[in-house]
Structure 1
Amino acid sequence: MELKKFITHHLVKGKDLNHHGTLFAGRGAEWFVEAGFVAASAMTAPENTVCLNIHGLVFTRPVPKGSIVRYESKVAYAGRSSMVVYVKVLMAKDDDFVLDGFMTFIHVDENGKSTPHNLVVNPTEIEDIALHQRAKDLLKK
């Protein structure tokens, strides 16, 4: 399977701000997980997809009120029952980098037990091959 990119956007409103008047990290993290879930569940089924691990988030810049942020997500690696999703966040206006990171999702059955998803990820683009290796390395830790 090629790495399919999913794109979502969010408008940063007053309710999304911290005490500095910029995007609250908790809200940004919520949107980050949501974007990752979209990519993972699109490959299987939402009811069979659970988040296991968020592999770190580092915001590189503040995001002011009124900004539109773009979340780009893709399944970078698939194990037996796991999927590692890469998410990159950019300012929609000028493509300025905000943050990126990986999340591990698990495919589960109706009892919540991990079960094979039968996905195979075969990246062909240079950038996707590098993401695939980074994602695979995360599962070795």
Structure 2
Amino acid sequence: MSEYRHIVRKWVKPEDLNQHGALFGGRLLQWVDEEAAIVAVAQLGSIDVVTRHMSAINFVSRADRGDLLELEYRVAAFGRTSITLSCRVENAVTGSEVLTLDEIVFVSVDDSGASVAHGRSEPTTGTERLRE
């Protein structure tokens, strides 16, 4: 499988902070899941995908107000009905790792929510599959 990377940046704002003045873990997970879904949709060419599984989430270091984070996604594998991504979040300024997630699995589903084959086996770099 060819190498694919998708990077998005997020700025930690005051409304993203927890009671300790650091980035709220739930907010970071929201960002991670939402962008992972966007990657899965672009890769599979369908908006009909659901998050099926996330591996252990490893919060390595904190992020504070004003930090610029980079969320980097890679396609780990294509299954018959699924796509598996990995995600690494780092502080763009310091380079320190904030979070790692080895597996985020999305499944292609039909109108009733049953898994369906998606027919993909190689990553794409754009959104052209959505227009097929």
- Sort the TM-score into its range (normalised by shorter chain): 0.7 to 0.9
1:81 match:
81
Q: Which structure 2 segments of 5+ residues have no match?
A: 124-132
Structure-1 separation of matches of 2:104 and 2:32:
9
2:118 match:
117
Could you tell me the TM-score, scaled by structure 2's length?
Answer: 0.85
Give the residue type in structure 1 aligned to 2:37. Answer: F
TM-aligned CA deviation for residue 121 of structure 1? 4.2
Higher helix share: 1
Identity of aligned residues (%): 30
Q: How does 1:119-134 map to 2 (within 5 A)?
A: 119-121=120-122
The answer to whether residue 58 in structure 2 is matched with residue 58 in structure 1 is yes
Higher relative CO (Cα under 8 Å, sequence separation at least 6) belongs to: 2
Runs of 4+ in 1 over 4 A off after TM superposition: none
- Residues matched between the structures, number: 122
Query: What secondary structure is seen at the aligned counterpart in 2 of 1:47?
Result: coil
Q: How does 1:35-114 map to 2 (within 5 A)?
A: 35-101=35-101, 102-114=103-115
Could you tell me the TM-score, scaled by structure 1's length?
Answer: 0.80
**What is the CA deviation profile of residues 5-38 of structure 1, one whole-angstrom value per residue up to 9, with x for unaligned ones?**
1111111011100111000000011111122112
Q: How does 1:29-40 map to 2 (within 5 A)?
A: 29-40=29-40
Higher strand share: 2
